[in-house]
Structure 1
Amino acid sequence: MGKPKGSATWHGVVFPKDDKGERTTTKLGKKVWAAAAAAIEDNQAAIDAINKEKDWRHKYGTHVMDLAEKQMWSPEAAVKSAKAGLDCIHSEFEFIREGECRKLSEVMAAPKKADSFATVTIKGEGLFPNTANLVELPAEGDLPAVTGEKAVERVKEWVAQGVVEPDVATAFAEVVNKPDVMLRARTKVYVLLGATSEMCPLKALLALGCTVVAIQRPSPRVVKLIQAAKASPGTLILPAKPGTDTTGMADETLAQVAGADVLTQTPEIRDWLAQLLPEKDLVIGSYIYLDGEAHVRAAVAMDAIAASVCEARPATGLAYLASPATCYPIPKEACEDAAARHAAAPWWHGPTSLLFGGWAKATCPEVRGEAGVSHHMYNGLSVIQGPNYALAKTLQNWRCVVAVSEGRQVSANMAPASKTDSVMHVKAVARAMNGMETFEPLKPFEGATASSTMAVLLVHDMGVPQSAEKALRHRHPMQLFECGGVHGGLWRCPYTFDSLGTASYLFGLFK
């Protein structure tokens, strides 16, 4: 993990300094995991193992999986551990502005300001989609774009292939066939942190007539957001520099002054959101994705905003694109399917596997929770992605666990590996992505398809009241991650994803 790149000048949310005065990531990461482990009863051996681990970069996964399994012992264990990990993060991370360094928690606890940003509102002039076309999946390869019931049928095909879980098709059908789902979802205001991210549902939500608050740095890319809003039946709200008069301003000029930096304007964004449209309920979605240590800092900044706004506005909901590449429970049926696929694997898998050092069989360790309830754990960690990624995504999982325990509305469906521009511009990654489909049922999604799919699930989660069935399934808050699995086949693959990397890359050379 080492010293973050580009660290000559620090601004905004930053890692704390270590004993040598450097803002490194390894020591802080281990401290956070140890804090979360310390909240589990009789867990001193695990804490010691984390603290003594010398090769954290390559062996962090063992400790992370061990913690996830122990969090499944009881809802209380999960909530206490998640809170401890989050508390450690917010008490340790720092915030730098104009050379002054303070604790992030101290900065976020400061009195709120009323004039953090000017508010720009753009009301679209597009037509609302008719009920039959509320749900749309874009064209992909030889497959045409589909809407309504045909979109539901396509998702059912994915279910049959093992690419998504059955409840994903159920959610699509409810959005298509129950207009009140969309009506309820439209009553929310969707705050999107990282609005220009390729996986962000901004355009899909606008097209459905929702009110969207876009938080991103000022840039030429904001022009496309503004244009999309004007052509839609939705409403786009943007923060702008205080005192800015945007009346009659050209889109290109507005894009230069509208926006906010989550990393460096963290408290100001919180202040603005705390008083924005007070008569409405907010849903704060965290969509920023960066490389390495910057991803952790962005995740911490987004969490600081979300947690603080939730405190100020108790009815606020949360939304995430959960990552399959962490540790969490999955449905027993998915585990059994993976085992069956391994038993029925083609003959050539055996000898070919040996050429690549062996493809590890996917297993789902069974954890006995309260009252003898069994949970089946999935380890999606990848050494290639590393401990920074694991921490960034797991802290979001922890926030979900805490929010669910508080009765808050949370959307955290598993998002698939996707062929977005930010991924496919790296040739090695692109080849590995293309080679994944050699191993059924793995399927990388096109970026537009993934984004559209996840947007529908978000609308469903925010438009459907908690059902008795869903409440029963969520007897443990981490069971949230069993629902809405658009995992791209990972849960049902006969091999661990981490062991397929080299083979996927080489097979991708021929596609």
Structure 2
Amino acid sequence: MSEPTVSFPSESTTSTARTVLADALRKADPVGARAVEHETAWRRQYLSHFRRAVEAGIGEASSAHRIAADGLASAYGHFTYGDAPLGEAIGTQPLTQAFHTVEVRGEAEPETELTLPYRGERLSGDALGAQLDDWVARGVITTSAADRVRLVQQHPEWLRLDGETVVVLGAGAEMGPMHALLRWGADVVALDLPREDVQERIRQTASSLAGRVRLPARIVGGAGSDAGADLLTELPAIAEWLDGIDGALVLGNYCYADGGTHVRLSMAADALGTHLVERRPDTALAFLATPTDVFAVPRGEVVAADAAYRAGGAMSRLSRRTVRTLAGGRLLTRNYPPAADPGICDALVPQQGPNYAFAKRLQRWRATAARHDGVRVSLNVAPSTRTRSVVKNKALAAAYAGAHRFGVEVFDPATSNTLMAALLVHDLKAGAPAEAEPWMDEAAGACHGGLWTAAYHPRSALGLAAILGVGALRG
């Protein structure tokens, strides 16, 4: 008998994504829902439908809330854990594992000042402030993101996150906050796969830094490491173990996997978060949004992009016109209509595929729905980052290497994860103020790397960025 796991209803991830997206749009945008249902080339055309699911939620907060709630409800109507609907798995399905807790305490002293690794230096104080100013001036991060980081600078006592325990799903992920939180002396629960290499890396990190890490240790033996847990196959056991962790929890989803497994992990994490919020209403939820998605962006970003377009950016007006003519108008198109308010930054990347878009949209829907229900939520747009999972794709690696030619800064993982950890601290300690509409919540505090303020529609410059980046990679 095979072990239970979080599963799609069939082998077709395409069918599930189409159905869920159509259900999400059905009441808020019936025409959009029909367009999704009638789409016959999903893997080529999914980008326009995910864009429409953002556009349909602009203008009335109730529409965005409905899209999020209906999309999540549809997803739970399709995914299963073993023989049970996913939403009923925790508390009803037999446990396939049991965990006790192993604790690792760091030997270092906690850092008492916010510092940020950047291009071989560690910035603090005025130097960090100057870098934030530079990023804002170049349109790399939003003013609100810089202001939030500065507030954390002014309150270094927040860094320890006293009174909070951060449960890091995907603790070994390059974009996760575990390393930064432990430098600051925070209390972390680290969940990742029961693999020797992964668990050894987590232990070494924990012992070399300043915080406390608690790990699930497996009571029922098996292959692999005694520590660690598989979110897909051991979901009820993980929930039971976390139920025994004292104090206020922050559940952060930093999981990543290729293809449909990423969607399954997003749904497993969502089921775990839903369970914890129901059992412990003081639970907070944390997510990182990818910049390579569709976002509504404020008027200020549109104005900056329009100014960059008029200035010509990486190309003179003559060369831009030539390129566009030769490409039949597909290259170097404007990022936004000049009068857009808000603008729609459509930075979905076809190379990342529809499952990636689906997994990240599920997380955004949960953030929207949870905020609406009064749950503490931290969701911040992170910059494009040279993680191993991204640069293993040669086309994306080349595009990242050439992105600076178009006003986009690609960050190193150490810079990104520390910057985003600082924003997490802000959201938990200062609280992210509620905005009038969900798209405004997503735009506040965004570190988009320059995609929102770039002169050109991201996909219309992607190919040229890759061509320009090939030489840099070879060099």
After TM superposition, the score normalised by the length of structure 2 is 0.92
Show the counterpart of 2:177: 201
Partner secondary structure for residue 218 of structure 1 = coil
Show the counterpart of 1:482: 443
User: Alignment partner for residue 361 of structure 1, among 319, 327, 334?
Assistant: 334
* 1:149–1:173 contact (8 Å) kept in structure 2: no
The CA distance in 1 between the partners of 2:353 and 2:388, in whole Å, is 21
Deviation at 1:305, TM superposition (A): 1.0
The CA distance in 2 between the partners of 1:106 and 1:443, in whole Å, is 43
User: Alignment partner for residue 222 of structure 1, among 190, 199, 224?
Assistant: 199
Deviation at 1:426, TM superposition (A): 3.5
Please, which moves more after superposition, 30-39 or 358-367? 358-367
Structure 1, residues 88-145: CA drift from partner, whole Å, max 9, x if none? 111201223xxxx332223135279798311111222321223xxx2122241xx522
Instruction: Please give the residue correspondences for 1:151-190 in structure 2 after superposition, counting only pairs within 5 Å.
Output: 151-182=128-159, 185-190=161-166
Partner secondary structure for residue 444 of structure 1 = coil
Show the counterpart of 1:403: 370
Q: Does 1:147 align with 2:124?
A: yes
Show the counterpart of 2:464: 503
Q: Does 1:237 align with 2:206?
A: no
Q: Does 1:430 align with 2:390?
A: no
* 1:181–1:464 contact (8 Å) kept in structure 2: no
Q: Does 1:412 align with 2:385?
A: no
The CA distance in 2 between the partners of 1:454 and 1:106, in whole Å, is 33
Please, which moves more after superposition, 374-383 or 28-37? 374-383
User: Alignment partner for residue 56 of structure 1, among 42, 47, 53?
Assistant: 42
Show the counterpart of 1:104: 86
The CA distance in 2 between the partners of 1:75 and 1:109, in whole Å, is 34
Q: Does 1:73 align with 2:59?
A: yes
Deviation at 1:221, TM superposition (A): 2.5
Partner secondary structure for residue 92 of structure 1 = coil
* 2:95–2:236 contact (8 Å) kept in structure 1: no
* 2:69–2:369 contact (8 Å) kept in structure 1: yes
Structure 1, residues 318-345: CA drift from partner, whole Å, max 9, x if none? 1111112222322210111111111111
The CA distance in 2 between the partners of 1:153 and 1:196, in whole Å, is 31
Q: Given residue 206 of structure 1, which amino acid in structure 2 is its aligned partner?
A: L
Partner secondary structure for residue 490 of structure 1 = coil
Structure 2 unmatched runs, 5+:
none
User: Alignment partner for residue 257 of structure 1, among 213, 222, 226?
Assistant: 226
Show the counterpart of 1:458: 424
Show the counterpart of 2:7: 14
Q: 1:114 to 1:58 in 2, by over 3 A?
A: closer
Please, which moves more after superposition, 222-231 or 208-217? 222-231
Deviation at 1:437, TM superposition (A): 1.1
Q: Given residue 506 of structure 1, which amino acid in structure 2 is its aligned partner?
A: I
* 1:115–1:272 contact (8 Å) kept in structure 2: no
Q: Does 1:32 align with 2:20?
A: yes
Deviation at 1:386, TM superposition (A): 2.4
Please, which moves more after superposition, 304-313 or 322-331? 322-331
Q: 1:445 to 1:355 in 2, by over 3 A?
A: farther
* 1:364–1:378 contact (8 Å) kept in structure 2: no
The CA distance in 2 between the partners of 1:37 and 1:382, in whole Å, is 22
The CA distance in 2 between the partners of 1:491 and 1:10, in whole Å, is 44
The CA distance in 2 between the partners of 1:461 and 1:364, in whole Å, is 33
Deviation at 1:383, TM superposition (A): 2.4
User: Alignment partner for residue 210 of structure 1, among 174, 186, 192?
Assistant: 186
Please, which moves more after superposition, 280-289 or 344-353? 344-353
Structure 1, residues 351-393: CA drift from partner, whole Å, max 9, x if none? 24445542221116989xxxxxx64333222222222111110
Using the aligned pairs only, state the percent identity. Answer: 32
Q: Does 1:271 align with 2:253?
A: no
Q: Does 1:293 align with 2:286?
A: no
* 2:289–2:382 contact (8 Å) kept in structure 1: yes
Q: Given residue 457 of structure 1, which amino acid in structure 2 is its aligned partner?
A: L
The CA distance in 2 between the partners of 1:61 and 1:137, in whole Å, is 35
Q: Does 1:382 align with 2:349?
A: yes
Q: Does 1:192 align with 2:168?
A: yes
Structure 1, residues 25-56: CA drift from partner, whole Å, max 9, x if none? 1111111011101231xx33222211111111
The CA distance in 2 between the partners of 1:426 and 1:328, in whole Å, is 24
Please, which moves more after superposition, 310-319 or 148-157? 148-157
* 2:400–2:410 contact (8 Å) kept in structure 1: yes
* 1:113–1:271 contact (8 Å) kept in structure 2: no
* 2:84–2:93 contact (8 Å) kept in structure 1: no
Q: 1:313 to 1:478 in 2, by over 3 A?
A: farther
Partner secondary structure for residue 145 of structure 1 = strand
The CA distance in 2 between the partners of 1:478 and 1:139, in whole Å, is 30
The CA distance in 2 between the partners of 1:333 and 1:361, in whole Å, is 16
Please, which moves more after superposition, 108-117 or 387-396? 108-117
Q: 1:332 to 1:509 in 2, by over 3 A?
A: same
* Aligned-CA RMSD value: 2.4
After TM superposition, the score normalised by the length of structure 1 is 0.85
How many residue pairs get matched?
Answer: 464
The CA distance in 1 between the partners of 2:125 and 2:96, in whole Å, is 43
Q: Given residue 102 of structure 1, which amino acid in structure 2 is its aligned partner?
A: A
Q: 1:29 to 1:366 in 2, by over 3 A?
A: farther
Q: Given residue 122 of structure 1, which amino acid in structure 2 is its aligned partner?
A: V
* 2:141–2:448 contact (8 Å) kept in structure 1: yes
Show the counterpart of 1:251: none
Q: Does 1:343 align with 2:310?
A: yes
Q: Does 1:449 align with 2:406?
A: no
Deviation at 1:82, TM superposition (A): 0.6
The CA distance in 2 between the partners of 1:166 and 1:116, in whole Å, is 46
Partner secondary structure for residue 378 of structure 1 = strand
Structure 1, residues 435-465: CA drift from partner, whole Å, max 9, x if none? 11111x2011111111111111111111114
Q: 1:67 to 1:425 in 2, by over 3 A?
A: closer
* 2:159–2:181 contact (8 Å) kept in structure 1: no
Partner secondary structure for residue 350 of structure 1 = helix
* 1:136–1:145 contact (8 Å) kept in structure 2: yes
Structure 1, residues 392-430: CA drift from partner, whole Å, max 9, x if none? 101100000011112222111111111122322333322
Deviation at 1:24, TM superposition (A): 0.7
Deviation at 1:159, TM superposition (A): 1.3
Q: 1:148 to 1:364 in 2, by over 3 A?
A: farther
